């Protein structure tokens, strides 16, 4: 199993990971790109502003994959839960099953999710978001 983890204490909210994700997964001509990374800003009761970025946790039991009626979600050799976009029918069953509220959908109504940049990882490279992270808060974790 593999996933990208974020050390929240190090995240500066720079959005480099979000931009890198979009660059990795979309052509430059796409105007409605949806990042696989979710970026959130939190204001603590003290007034301190914190940022966090998250994406698919590639759960060991992968409830999203279990409920997909067309089998569009599977686990690849690197341990990531990946999407067969051509098979996705946009039913959103995966969103209902995800305990982490991760699934996002594009303008076509199809799932957009982190694939861990599996092609990059298969060639010994870091995922795009990890490579672009300026503070080192993102790490590829492989169990």
Digit-coded pLDDT (tens) for 78-125: 899 999 999 999 999 999 999 999 999 998 999 999 999 988 888 889
Task: Out of 52-56, 111-115, 131-135, pick the least confident.
Answer: 52-56
Mean predicted confidence (pLDDT) in 12-30: 88
Binned at pLDDT 50, 70 and 90, residue 46 comes out as very high
Q: Are 39 and 75 in contact (CB under 8 A)?
A: no
Q: Which residue has the tokens 């982190």?
A: 114
* Residue carrying the six token digits 């603590």: 44
Domains and CATH numbers, the chain: 2-142 (3.30.70.20)
Most confident of 6-20, 28-42, 43-57, 93-107: 93-107
State the pairing for strand pair 138-142/49-54. Answer: unpaired
Q: What are phi and psi of 95, to 5 degrees?
A: -65, -40
Instruction: Return the SS3 of 51.
Output: strand
Q: Tokens 């990374």 map to which residue?
A: 37
Token duo for residue 83: 């999407």
Is the pLDDT assigned to residue 62 strictly greater than 90? yes
Do β-strands 38-43 and 49-54 pair in parallel, antiparallel, or remain unpaired?
A: antiparallel
- Phi then psi for residue 128, to 5 deg, are -55, -40
């Amino acid at each position: 199993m593999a996933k990208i983890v974020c050390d929240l204490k190090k995240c500066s909210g720079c959005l480099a990971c979000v931009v890198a994700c979009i660059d990795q997964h979309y052509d430059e001509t796409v105007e409605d790109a949806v990042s696989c990374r979710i970026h959130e800003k939190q204001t603590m009761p003290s007034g301190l502003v914190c940022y966090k970025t998250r994406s698919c946790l590639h759960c060991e039991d992968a409830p999203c994959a279990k409920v997909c009626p067309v089998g569009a979600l599977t686990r690849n050799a690197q341990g990531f839960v990946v999407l067969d976009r051509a098979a996705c029918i946009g039913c959103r069953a995966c969103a209902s099953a995800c305990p982490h509220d991760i699934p996002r959908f594009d303008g076509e109504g199809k799932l957009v999710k982190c694939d861990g940049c599996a092609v990059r990882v298969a060639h010994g490279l870091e995922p795009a978001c990890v490579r672009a992270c300026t503070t080192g808060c993102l790490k590829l974790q492989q169990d």
